[in-house]
Structure 1
Amino acid sequence: MKNTISHRVADFLKNFPPFNFLQPKEIELLSEQISIIYKEKDSVIFAENEETHTSFYVVHKGAVALINSSENDVLDMCDEGDIFGLRPLIANENYKMEAKTFEETILYAIPIAFFKPYAQDNRAVGNFLIESFASNTLNPYSKSHRGKLYGENIGTETVENDKNLIDIQPVKYSKKIVTCSSITTAKSIAETMTKKNVGAILVLEDKLPIGIITDKDLRNKIVTGEYPITTTAGVIMTSPVITYSKKLTITQAQMAMMKSNISHLCLTKDGTPNTKAIGILSKHDVMVALGNNPAVLIKAVKRAKKYKDIKPIRASIMHLLQGYLDQNIPMTLTSKIITELNDVCIQQVIAIALKKMSTPPPVKFAWLALGSQGRSEQLLHTDQDNALVYENVSEELETKTKKYFLELATHVNKGLFDIGYEYCPAEMMASNPKWCLSLKEWKNQVHHWITNPGKNEVLLSFIFFDYSLSYGATEIVNNLSDYIFDTINANPVFYVHLVSGALQSPSPTGFFRQFLLEQDGANKDFFDIKRRALMPLADAARVLIISHSVKSISNTPERFEKLAELEPTNKELYLACSYSYKALLKFRTKQGLLHHDSGQYIALESLSKLEKIKLKRTFKTIKELQEIITIRFNVSNIL
């Protein structure tokens, strides 16, 4: 005779992870072993430091709060279908928090001894359990909990050894770096390169790379007679050095070389010129390892003569993005590759626009990408956010110079529109005279924002301080960056206003873990993943990285990873924030591709239970991160 109770249990479990990864027969066998427990409101299921039970639990009806007893702080709220009490399954230690019913609750107790073989034999089940357990320690892939079920590391940032994905494998580079100083002569450099049989030599100052000299430089500058053989490295070197981290992939390396028309890349400890060089990569190294990759798209973009020629290539970039997401390629690599491709499209639009001008630029200039594009996080087709900064000129030439760059910016903005970037509704574009300024004017603007930080000034600084160079003179951008850091350091109260602005983003969930939806307007009853989840993380990362005066890192996950290095005591939290941001960005990108929009507003009814669980899990870091910046910058006592 069929056990109707266990049959009902099976019907319930099959709808929720990780049980939905099991075969129907396995769920039926498991359901026969499950105990059903009724608990009244405020009943303690297990206490903090209590010895672990022989079962873990699933909420059938009701809700269970997971509480830090010492601080009486609710860490999580489990509702229908959620699992908790996984510690005895993963780690042989007492419970680290209290589990208490929030209302009348019915629980299913899953015997660990019976269930563990399922977790060990079924990778999807094991992955989900490890994620669920580790998420209560903030980082869903906490190093201390990886491999507890399998005896090996598990993580979403792992690339399988697939020959079809050779282009996103880490590239092999030479660790034997040949170096010289800026006063070394060309003759000595040539002798050293010949002796060491290398095609490039790094120029160092205080152990940091300031320039590079290649065989090509010696041919073009010394052998031609342009400079004598006694010329020093500081004169003939190429500077600044284009640097990347050692995690560089084959695709990234080739795209970087093609984009900048160079044959060597310098690899440094953190990917910026501000840390020690650890390797050098040549075009030959890349060609040896190269397979099919997005570099063909770069070639196609660079061959484009008109704006309209680039638009179909951008469509191909979106297909590539979809393919990477479908193959579950790590978001770190996906965003870098797509950003590089988008940057090349923008650069080619600017190159075409320059040809439309009657004369070359009167002075050096820099085209800046702002906001999400400046952070290398704009993967979908969204609107434009950009600015232009040009060298200072005399007062009598200012009007003529500004007119030239406004005309150029108008061409570029139209070109970007033609290839798929909508115009910014707020006109935050370089064709707007407010966003096309000389270096001196930009400094005056930044000084005003920092010393008169009203609501609008803080909002503008949030957008503008996340800039990156798309095209033009690096030295102009570096000059402006130095000024921003110096001015903020001279006006530390500005941090308080930055933090206050960062705390304005609305919470993603209510007390009972319900998603907080838009209450009115065109997106009523939709969840705003940008404002409620991504922005709080991006805003906090910006404040913290600026407070450390770290330059050259604008990407939010990379900022958190750098912060983990700078603040070891908060390492786990910052790495969790980096993971959460990448997961949220991936989720938004998938939604955008699915619905052919920006992915900002999500209809929750379209999500599965598993998708909602994963989405909620990424929210756990936001509260603690906001508490850190509130306390550190003493916001509550000043404002």
Structure 2
Amino acid sequence: MKNSIAERVRDFLKIYPPFDLLNAKKLLDIAKEVVIIYLEKGDVLFKEGANFNNHFYMVRDGAISLTNANKNDQEIVSISDTGDIFGVRPLVAQENYKLTASAHEESIVYGIPIGSFQQAAENNSKVYKYLITAFATNAYDAYTTKETQQIFIDYLPNNSQDIANFQTANYTKKPITCSTSSSLKNAALKMSKNKIGYIIVIDDTKKPVGIITNSDIKNKIATGLFPIDTAVTHIMTSPVITSKKDLTVADAQLQMIKHNVAHLCITKDGTVNSRLVGVLTNHDILVSLGNNPSAILKEIIRAKRTKKLRSIRLKANTLLKNYLEQNIPISHIITVISKINDAITVRAIEIALPKMPTPPPVKFSWLATGSQGRKEQLLFTDQDNALVFEDVPKAQYKETQAYFLELSKHITKSLNKIGFEYCEADMMASNEAWCKSISEWKNQFKDWILKPDEKAVLLSSIFFDYNLVYGSQKLIDQLTNTIYNTLENSVSFNKLLAQDAVKSPSPLGFFKQFLVEKNGDQKDLFNIKNRGLMPLIDAARVLALSKQIKGINNTFERYEKLAEIEPNNKELYESCSYAFKALTKFKTKQGLRHNTSGKFIDLETLTKEEKLKLKRCFKPIDEIQKTLILRFDLKTLPI
């Protein structure tokens, strides 16, 4: 007799990871033992410090708050929605609960039996890899850093070199092979034709049985020990050292050192008893280690030409893709890629300076604005930059400005060749409107702040997020102090910024459907930048300015700082920080997948899980906009 309840449970589980990695029969076996739990708002499922039980959990409907006790009250560190799993500590560590789980709203929860799950997932490395990486890098949980140091310490990187070691090793997927009946002469000709220094000997079932290298030919043939027509089986090194497909760089290095070999045969199950699927060489390891931040930054410093800088920046895209595939925390990815982008810009400036007829007449500063100014530029985007130079006598101003405009044209041209498109609105240092003396820049910002209008608000959203990339820090300190001193004397400017920050409504319509573009080339596509990221970016900016937060331009760092100085709103700010990082990661993955900026998304290409995750990220947008409306009394402003 069919168990219709178990089948319905199975049909729900199979939509979400890691259950989507199990076959239907094993999933049904789990579903038959699932405990269905109904919780009213406020009901507690398990408490912090309680002994672990025999289940972990998945939200069927509703939402579950995970809270951490502090000195005063319960601090919400994450909220699990439909399809999310939680309470996995008994599964991975068999330790008492470190958090309290309670119903954030009326909810239905599935209790997944750990014993049945482990039996069903036995020998399924993908399931456990998912659990480890998903929970070790879940940035939504404010306590993640502390937790991962205890539970997942062997899986998380601590520095650039560790990250390189943490990556999956890239191996040759179509290795050059010969059969056991081949002669050495034929094998050598094959090696020569393919310009490689080794060949794998395989049997009739494609299993690797030996390897021949250039060293074998030199030591055994050139010395006369064997004739050139000898069978490969007479001189091959056997048995070969094998490994599985998903080994890390660190694991590969250890195996090569342990066995004193320079080649690993990658087989279907990792043993000599299965089919050969690839070869990993010592050279492959060196290439993997070379594609890390430290090596890339060294290459940038040594680069002599713009063409070389472009190839290096493309390496950074590969690094970015690897980081995302390895579930490296997005906050770390943003930091690394931002440093690379700034280093690329610095080197472009250094290459441009000798092209000028004379050294710079006065000190100057090159500013990145927009996304690079916020240190959030992951993919190639258009340029936003500005230049500030020291004050000069009025009679020398035009000549000095002309010098820096010419320099800026060289720099922006180089950045364009590297892959950063020219700004369509010409908001670049090569435009005299954005290439000024420090006094002119001070006057410009004062004018925007004290005489605000729609254009001033638009420009402020770009130029208030600046970051010194090259040149005089002193000039920028002067500019920053002027901005914040002027803000203290303006009541209406922050209100206008706040009004601008709430002009974009929630990305979801009345019936929780995505709001897509209605016309044009992007019709029916979802604009994740304008509808998802920009409301969070704009809100963080105006709140940071109103709180006189200096030196922090990055959006998620702004929210983290706000959470620190406004503990009453800590939960909201931390959820905004999480949402921004999650949306940034999603946009970047889409951009890499489709070779675009990731700005516009075809919702039909998304899975149900991806859509649910997106919707969860949109929740803080509505809350932060309500906060701005109340805080800046926006109802009194004309619309």
Q: TM-score, normalised by structure 1?
A: 0.66
CA separation of 1:327 and 1:32: change in aligned 2, threshold 3 A: closer
Q: Distance in 2 between matches of 1:382 and 1:98?
A: 41
Counterparts of 1:162 and 1:432, CA distance in 2: 38
Distance 1:316-1:633 versus aligned 2 partners, 3 A rule: same
Report SS of the residue matched to 1:366.
Answer: strand
Q: What letter matches 1:365 in structure 2? A: F
Indicate the residue corresponding to 2:249 in structure 1: none
| Alpha-carbon spacing, 1:292–1:314, altered in 2? closer, same or farther (3 Å) | closer
Report if aligned partners of 2:369, 2:465 keep a CA contact under 8 Å in 1: yes
- For the structure 1 residues 152 and 126, does the alpha-carbon distance in structure 2 shift closer, same or farther, using more than 3 Å as the test? farther
Could you tell me whether the CA contact under 8 Å between 2:63 and 2:104 is conserved in 1? Answer: no
Match of 1:245 in 2: none
Return the alpha-carbon distance in structure 1 between the equivalents of residues 512 and 540 of structure 2: 24
In the other structure, the counterpart of 2:31 is 31
2:363 equivalent to 1:364: yes
Amino acid at match of 1:165: I
Q: Tell me which residue corresponds to 2:327.
A: 328
| C-alpha distance 162-413 of structure 1, shift in aligned 2 (>3 A) | closer
Q: State the one-letter code of the partner of 1:448.
A: D
Structure 1 residue 82, shift from structure 2 partner: 4.9
Residue 461 of structure 1 corresponds to which residue in structure 2?
460
Q: What is the rounded CA distance, in whole Å, between the counterparts of 1:571 and 1:418 in structure 2?
A: 43
Alignment-mate amino acid for residue 520 of structure 1: N
Deviation at 1:28, TM superposition (A): 0.8
Larger radius of gyration, structure 1 or 2? 2
Using the alignment, how far apart are the partners of 1:324 and 1:144 within structure 2?
18
Matched, 1:604 2:608: no
Amino acid at match of 2:459: L
Who is 2:10 aligned against?
A: 10
**How well do the aligned residues superpose, as a CA RMSD in angstroms?**
4.1
Q: CA deviation at 1:547?
A: 1.8
Counterpart Cα distance in 2 of 1:154 and 1:612 = 28
Q: Deviations over 1:464-484 (max 9, x none)?
A: 000001111111111111100
Bigger Cα displacement from structure 2, 290-299 vs 624-633: 290-299
Distance 2:439 2:158 in 1: 50
Distance 1:478 1:162, change over 3 A: closer
- Asked if 1 retains the 8 angstrom alpha-carbon contact of 2:57 and 2:112, the reply is no
For the 8 Å contact 1:366–1:473, the answer to whether it is kept is: yes
Other structure's SS at 1:470 match = strand
Q: 1:480 to 1:323 in 2, by over 3 A?
A: same
Pairwise CA distance, 1:357: 0.8
Contact 1:47/1:95, CA 8 A, preserved across alignment: no
Could you tell me whether the CA contact under 8 Å between 2:533 and 2:583 is conserved in 1? yes
What code does the residue aligned with 1:383 have? D
Native 8 Å contact 1:353 1:411 kept in 2? yes
Long gaps (5+) in structure 1:
38-44, 68-74, 101-106, 170-289
How far apart are the structure 2 equivalents of 1:565 and 1:56?
31
Cα gap change, 1:601 to 1:297, in 2 (>3 Å): same
Q: Quick one: which amino acid aligns to residue 28 of structure 1?
A: L
Quote how far apart the aligned CAs of 1:119 are.
Answer: 8.8
CA distance 1:555–1:9, change in 2 (3 Å): closer
1:438 to 1:160, Cα distance in 2 relative to 1, 3 A: closer
CA contact (8 A) 1:130 1:145 kept: no
Cα pair distance change 1:543/1:30, threshold 3 Å:
same
> CA 1:608–1:159 in 2, change beyond 3 Å: closer, same or farther?
farther
Length-normalised TM-score, structure 2: 0.66
Report what 2:533 is aligned to: 534
Instruction: Say whether 1:569 aligns with 2:564.
Output: no
CA distance, structure 2, for counterparts of residue 437 and residue 322 of structure 1? 38
Check conservation: 1:49, 1:94, Cα contact below 8 A: no
State the distance in 2 between where 1:562 and 1:364 align: 33
The amino acid that maps onto 2:528 is I
Specify the alignment match of 2:483 in structure 1. Answer: 484
Query: How far 1:512 sits from its partner (Å)?
Result: 3.1
Structure 1 pair 119–462 and aligned structure 2 pair: CA distance change class (3 A): farther
**In structure 2, distance between residues paired with 1:368 and 1:471:** 7
Q: Secondary structure at the match of 1:550?
A: coil
Contact 1:130-1:140 at 8 Å conserved across structures: no
Contact 2:83 2:609 (8 Å CA) reproduced: no
- 5+ residue gaps, structure 2, are 47-54, 66-77, 91-96, 122-126, 168-288
Q: CA deviation at 1:126?
A: 6.7
Q: 1:508: which partner in 2?
A: 507
Deviations 1:343-390 (A, max 9, x none): 111111111211111111111111110010101111111111111111
Q: Find out whether 1:99 has 2:106 as its counterpart.
A: yes
Report the 3-state secondary structure (helix = DSSP H, G, I; strand = E; otherwise coil) of the residue aligned with 2:488.
helix
- Identity of matched residues, %: 44
* Structure 1 counterpart of 2:367, one-letter code: L
Give the aligned residue type for 1:48.
K
Inter-CA distance 389–418: structure 2 relative to 1 (3 Å threshold): same
C-alpha displacement of 1:32: 3.3
After the TM superposition, which residues 123-134 of structure 1 pair with which residues of structure 2 at under 5 Å, given as runs? none
Note if contact 1:66-1:98 (Cα within 8 Å) is conserved in structure 2: yes
Distance between the aligned counterparts of 1:56 and 1:309, measured in 2? Answer: 51
Q: Cα distance 1:637–1:153, how it changes in 2: closer, same or farther (>3 A)?
A: farther
1:140 aligns with: 140
2:163 is aligned to: 165
Does the 8 A contact of 2:374 with 2:466 survive in 1? yes
Task: Give the counterpart letter for 1:20 in structure 2.
Answer: D
Aligned partners of 1:94, 1:468: CA distance in 2, in Å?
A: 41
Residues 573-622 of structure 1: CA deviation (Å, up to 9, x unaligned)? 22222222122111111111111111111111112222222222222222
SS in 2 for 1:20: helix
Letter in 2 for 1:141: D
How far did residue 540 of structure 1 move? 1.2
Q: Is the partner of 1:490 in helix, strand or coil?
A: coil
Name the CA distance, whole Å, in 1 between partners of 2:145 and 2:406.
57
Distance of aligned partners of 1:421 and 1:587 in 2 relative to their CA distance in 1, 3 Å threshold? same
Going from structure 1 to structure 2, the CA distance change for 1:50 and 1:305 (only over 3 Å counts) comes to closer
Shift of 1:449: 0.9
Kept in 2, the 8 Å contact 1:18–1:124? The answer is no
Alignment of 1:206-225 (within 5 A): none
Q: Which residue of 1 aligns with 2:343?
A: 344
CA distance in 1 between partners of 2:290 and 2:355 (Å): 37
Task: Answer with 600-609 or 122-131: which moved more.
Answer: 122-131
8 Å contact kept, 1:146–1:154: no
| Alpha-carbon spacing, 1:466–1:533, altered in 2? closer, same or farther (3 Å) | same
1:335 is matched by which residue type in structure 2? I
Whether the 8 Å contact between 1:18 and 1:129 is mirrored in structure 2 is no
Deviation at 1:572, TM superposition (A): 2.6
Q: CA deviation at 1:35?
A: 9.1
Q: Distance in 1 between matches of 2:434 and 2:396?
A: 19
Contact 1:21 1:124 in 2 (8 A): no
What do the CA deviations read for 1:397-423 (whole angstroms, capped 9, x no partner)? 111111111111111111111111111
Task: Provide the rounded CA distance (Å) in 2 between the counterparts of 1:391 and 1:168.
Answer: 46
SS across alignment from 1:387: strand
Q: For the residues of structure 1 that align with 2:84 and 2:41, how far apart are their CA atoms?
A: 17
Q: How many residues align?
A: 485
1:425 maps to 2:432: no
CA contact (8 A) 2:58 2:112 kept: no
Which amino acid letter does the alignment assign opposite residue 311 of structure 2?
P
Distance 2:607 2:56 in 1: 26
The alpha-carbon deviation at position 305 of structure 1 amounts to 2.6
1-side partners of 2:386 and 2:439: how far apart? Answer: 14
The amino acid that maps onto 2:339 is: E
Choose the corresponding residue for 2:41, options 45, 48, 59: 48
Shift of 1:522: 1.3
CA offset digits 1:101-132 (Å, max 9, x no partner): xxxxxx9x74x37478649987578789989x
CA spacing shift, 1:161–1:503, aligned 2, 3 Å: closer
Give the 3 Å change call, closer, same or farther, for CA 165–65 of structure 1 in structure 2.
closer
In the aligned structure 2, how far is the partner of 1:151 from the partner of 1:415? 43
- CA 25–311 in structure 1, closer or farther in 2 if over 3 Å, else same: same
- 1:555 is matched with 554
Query: Which residue number in structure 1 is paired with residue 194 of structure 2?
Result: none
2-side partners of 1:92 and 1:348: how far apart? Answer: 48
Aligned equivalents of 1:499 and 1:356: distance in 2?
Answer: 44
Letter in 1 for 2:331: T
Q: Which moved more, 1:2-11 or 1:112-121?
A: 112-121
Distance 1:435 1:21, change over 3 A: same
In structure 2, what is the Cα distance between the partners aligned to 1:588 and 1:423?
21
